[in-house]
Amino acid sequence: MRPLAQCQALMATILTSAAAVVSTTVLAQDRLGERAAMIETIKLHARSAPSAVEGQGIDPAVLETIGKVPRHFFVPEEQRGAAYQDRPLPIGYGQTISQPFIVALMTDLINVGPGDTVLEIGTGSGYQAAVLSPLTAKVYSIEIIPELGERAAARLAELRFDNVEVKVGDGYYGWPAQAPFDGIVVTAAASHIPPPLVEQLAKGGRMVVPVGGPFATQFLMLVEKRRDGSITTRQLLPVAFVPLRGGRAR
């Protein structure tokens, strides 16, 4: 290629990238009102899920992050209109982007902070990783379906979630090189919790596993590794429901 052409190509690349950054920033500012309304819905639902919400409600930092992440970038083109409704949406390959309320609950439950490292099994759309990104130091995410993983990685990079690293592969063994993790989110369905993940959970760390079908979370399982290394789990209903009419069977 001649120097002039090289120069033109370089200029074109720079201009295109700049345009992309500008458009991304503009789009991220898009639909702020819808996001605010979504946050209100999440707060409302959280008030009626005492089992899964600890303390006074979902951590305001979690809600603030959800209010900033442009969810409509994480859903397929044809679903963008519904991106801020409080419901799961199909993203292809039998996977969904979780209901925002469930994402908020899970993020709240693993209870991670600015210095923490988080592992996610099942990147899917990348939305959960994006929500975790501003709250933590580093997010490692593994996706089994190459197309989904590559798409999510590109999207997260484009939106400058720079502390998220995505790889395509088998989530069973976790990410030993980066272990231990202060929090682990397992969104990929499994008949049991892989032992390596329990191993890679830091003492005092928490793992959250949503259990149920792609459009219906039955319960959230919270695995806690205590300081002494012992393990307990809790099954948390994402909704207030007492199975017995007229109170408890005591």
Partner 1 sequence: MRVGRLLPVGLISAATLAHEVLLMRLFSIIQWHQFAYMIISIALLGFGASGTFVALARRPLVKWYPAAFAASAALFGITAVASFAGAERLPFNALEVVWNPSQLGWLAASYALLVLPFFFGATCIGLAFSRHPGQIGRVYAFDLVGAGVGALGIVGLLFLVFPSAALRLIAALGFAAAALAATGMGRHRRLAAGSLGLAAAVIAVWLPPSFTATGPHMSQYKGLSMALDVPNAWVVEERSSPLGLLTVVESPTVPFRHAPGLSLANTQEPPAQLAVFSDGDSITAMTAYGGDPATVAYLDRTTAALPYRMLARPRTLVLGAGGGEQVLLALRAGADIVDAVEVNPQMIDLARNRFANFVGGIFSRPNVHLHLAEARAFAATTGERYDLIQMPLLDSFSAAAAGVQSMHENYTYTVEALRDYLAVLKPEGVVAITRWLRVPPRDILKLFATATAALEADGVSQPSRHLALIRSWNTATLLVAKSPFTGEDVAAIRGFAAENFFDISWVPGISASDVNRYNQLDQEYLYEGAVALLGPKRADFTERYKFDIAPATDNRPYFFDFFRWRALPELLTLRTQGGAAMLDWGYLILAATLAQAAILSAVLILLPLWLRRCALGRAVPRLRFGLYFLALGLAFLFIEIAFIQRFVLFLGHPLYAVAVVLAGFLAFAGLGSALAARWVAAVGCGSAVRGITLAVVVIAFLAGTYLLVLPLILERLLALPDAAKIAIALLLIAPLAVFMGMPFPLGLGHVGARSEEFLPWAWGINGCASVLSAILAALLATHIGFTGVVTIATILYLAAPALLAGSWG
Report the 10 Å Cβ neighbour count for 58: 25
For residue 42, the one-letter residue type is I
- For residues 49, 55, 58, 62, the Cα torsion angle rounded to the nearest 10 degrees is -150
CB of 200 to partner 1, least distance (A): 13
Considering only 24, 43, 57, 90, the residue that binds partner 1 (CB under 8 A) is 90
Interacting residues with partner 1 between 176 and 195 (CB under 8 A): 189-195
User: Can residue 80 be called a binding residue for partner 1 (CB under 8 A)?
Assistant: no
CB of 85 to partner 1, least distance (A): 8
How far apart (Å, rounded) are the C-alpha atoms in residues 94 and 83? 18
User: Can residue 100 be called a binding residue for partner 1 (CB under 8 A)?
Assistant: no
Active-site annotation holds for 141 = no
Residues 203 and 226: beta-carbon distance below 8 Å: yes
Residue 140 buriedness (CB in 10 A; 0-12 / 13-18 / 19+): buried
Residues 17, 98, 133, 141: which is the catalytic one? 98
- Contact flags string 135-164 toward partner 1, x per CB under 8 A: ---------xxx------------------
Residues 107 and 118: beta-carbon distance below 8 Å: no
How far apart (Å, rounded) are the C-alpha atoms in residues 98 and 104? 10
User: Can residue 83 be called a binding residue for partner 1 (CB under 8 A)?
Assistant: no
Considering only 162, 170, 204, 226, the residue that binds partner 1 (CB under 8 A) is 170
User: Can residue 226 be called a binding residue for partner 1 (CB under 8 A)?
Assistant: no
97 φ, ψ to 5°?
A: -90, 125
Report the 10 Å Cβ neighbour count for 39: 18
**Could you tell me which stretch among 29-37, 54-62, 67-75, 217-225 binds partner 1 (CB under 8 A)?**
217-225
User: Can residue 113 be called a binding residue for partner 1 (CB under 8 A)?
Assistant: no
User: Can residue 92 be called a binding residue for partner 1 (CB under 8 A)?
Assistant: yes
> Would you tell me the crossing angle of helices 100-110 and 60-68 to the nearest 10 degrees?
140
User: Can residue 107 be called a binding residue for partner 1 (CB under 8 A)?
Assistant: no
Residues labelled catalytic: 98
The residues binding partner 1 (CB under 8 A) are: 45, 48-49, 51-52, 82, 85-88, 90, 92-94, 99, 101-102, 105, 144-146, 170, 172, 189-195, 198-199, 211-219, 221, 223, 231-241, 243-246, 248-250
